[in-house]
Amino acid sequence: SAPVLLVIAHGSRDPRHAATVHALVRRVRSLRPEVRVETGFLDFNVPSVRGVLESLETEGVRDVVALPLLLTRAFHAKADIPAVLADAPPRLRIRQAEVLGPSPLLRSALERRLYEAGLTPADKSSTGVV
């Protein structure tokens, strides 16, 4: 059977974060109804990644593709996600996909938003974004 796509989000105390992640996953499901897509959060929100993996294993799922909903290969992608996946039920075969970015499209959108907020091209070399 086809693998389950597990979207892994950071999580936040701000309820808008989870709402946005769930809206994105609903959109993916509508565009690709043949793919089972689940959501798990590293912190603050439920379901947790560990909880989703345990539920999938209980259902008899064997193959999972873990997709970090992250824009960079920072600490969560390098440490947190591999650790939680390594602790998954042993009968699951899990492949971790790369993070979403950085992408030229994302950089372009970020620049556009910064310019809309008042950044000028002259400010570009001295402006950092976290």
CB neighbour class for 3 (10 Å; exposed up to 12, middle 13-18, buried from 19): middle
- Residue 89, pLDDT > 90, answer yes
Average pLDDT of the chain, as a whole number: 92
CB neighbour class for 57 (10 Å; exposed up to 12, middle 13-18, buried from 19): middle
- The pLDDT value recorded for residue 130 is 60
- Residue 83, pLDDT > 80, answer yes
Instruction: Answer with the residue of higher pLDDT: 10 or 100.
Output: 10
- Residue 95, pLDDT > 90, answer yes
CATH T-level topology, domain 4-99: Rossmann fold (3.40.50)
Residues of the chain within CATH 3.40.50.1400 domain(s) are 4-99
Percent of the chain with pLDDT over 90: 73
- Residue 31, pLDDT > 90, answer yes
Instruction: Tell me the CB-side half-sphere exposure of residue 101, using CA atoms within 13 A.
Output: 14
- The pLDDT value recorded for residue 18 is 96
DSSP letter assigned to residue 84: H
